Amino acid sequence: MKSAILKNGEIQITEKEIPVLKDKKGAIIKVFGCGLCGSDIVKINHSTKENEDKIVLGHEIVGEIVDINVDVVGNMETNPFRKGDIIAMGHHYPCFKCKFCTHGNHSMCKTFKSSNIYPSGFSEFIYADENHLLNTVFKKPENLSYEEFSFLEPLSCCIRAIRRSGLDENKDNGSYNALVIGLGSIGILMAQALKAFNTNVFGFDINEKRQKFVEKYGVVFDKNIKYDIIFMTSGSGKALDTALDLIENGGKIVVFSSVSTPAAYQNDDIYYKELTVMGSYSPAPVDLSHSKKMLQDKKVDVSGLSSVYPLDKLDEAIIDTKQGKILKAYIKI
């Protein structure tokens, strides 16, 4: 089968053996497509000859179960998974027992960090173990396309960040002005999810085309107000200054992006304004289930966000993403 790997810092499409179950419990999934995540690009940019063989690329997967040897009823499901089920999934699962899990920091769990799919999402087939099936695999609703359902995992990351900020979807959050800084695909997901959490949502991007684009979702920018919660979805260090300029006293800044250049929030800004600066990294299984429902109920519209590339054009998709030519790449396998 075809599978994408990193070799000397470059993407190569190689031939690998199709994974089989044998004595392993779980499922073999034929991959239909996989979204390209910004974290994939970060991994590529920071890869070395010493670590590149350990890097797993691609995790926003949609596919079909073609072999399974366990009788598992997954998260949110009522019937066991079977051959022929069309699914999307997350790539990590926590242990639910360690200090990090019991404190609500599931993505810091050792099991979470060590679990993964095999060999990569940019492959024709992958192996998902029994715990993936229990916690991170979801059957596709009929009203979603493959490309739309591939947003299951990235949207769940946004939901996680919103929940960590203290917002509750079941409450009226109309007193909160929330700002998303950085309006790429993740920023667009974040803004729409915040609307579903009943907040007053605004968005800002230095790219005027993206600023204009989000108006279709009812998202604008108002430079004349201060914001109670700011979600950092921009990878630019300069965005930190923007956040500190626009945050309300007593507000929260949720860091949801990797910044390659040295950047820091200033101690006295945090101290005198009584700010909370917090990070949010990756979702727990509950966020994945929340994401499926939000996509299925069309509370978040992801139609038209993806540009489709074949697997052998993965390197081109990466370049186009880095250059801002597209919002989101979906790699059709």
| Domains in the chain with CATH codes | 2-156+282-332 (3.90.180.10), 166-279 (3.40.50.720)
Reply yes or no on whether the pLDDT at 7 is more than 90.
no
When pLDDT is cut at 50, 70 and 90, the band that residue 8 belongs to is confident
| pLDDT recorded at residue 260 | 75
Closest CA to 239 of 223, 221, 263: 263
- Residue 304's Cα: distance from chain center in Å? 17
Query: What average pLDDT does the structure give for the chain?
Result: 95
In one-letter notation, the amino acid at residue 88 is A
What per-residue confidence (pLDDT) applies to 232? 97
Q: What's residue 191's pLDDT?
A: 98
Residue 29 has a pLDDT of: 98
* Ramachandran angles phi, psi of 194, nearest 5°: -65, -35
pTM for this entry? 0.95
Residue 30 pLDDT > 90: yes
Express each pLDDT in 44-72 by its tens digit: 888 877 888 888 999 999 999 999 999 99
As a whole number, mean pLDDT of residues 105-118 equals 96
Can you give the pLDDT at residue 45? 85
In 3-state terms, what secondary structure has residue 241? helix
The pLDDT tens digits of the residues spanning 130-145 come to 999 999 999 999 999 9
Q: Can you tell me the distance from the alpha carbon of 280 to that of 257, in angstroms, rounded to the nearest whole number?
A: 9
Q: 95 exposed, middle or buried (CB, 10 Å; 0-12, 13-18, 19+)?
A: middle
**pLDDT tens sequence across 217-259:** 999 999 999 999 999 999 888 899 999 999 999 999 999 988 8
Residue 325: band (very low, low, confident or very high) from pLDDT cuts 50, 70, 90: very high
Residue 105 in 3-state DSSP? coil
> What confidence category does residue 264 fall into, taking pLDDT thresholds of 50, 70 and 90?
confident
Q: What is the pLDDT of residue 330?
A: 98
CB 152 within 8 A of CB 292: yes
| pLDDT given at position 74 | 95
What pLDDT does 51 receive? Answer: 84
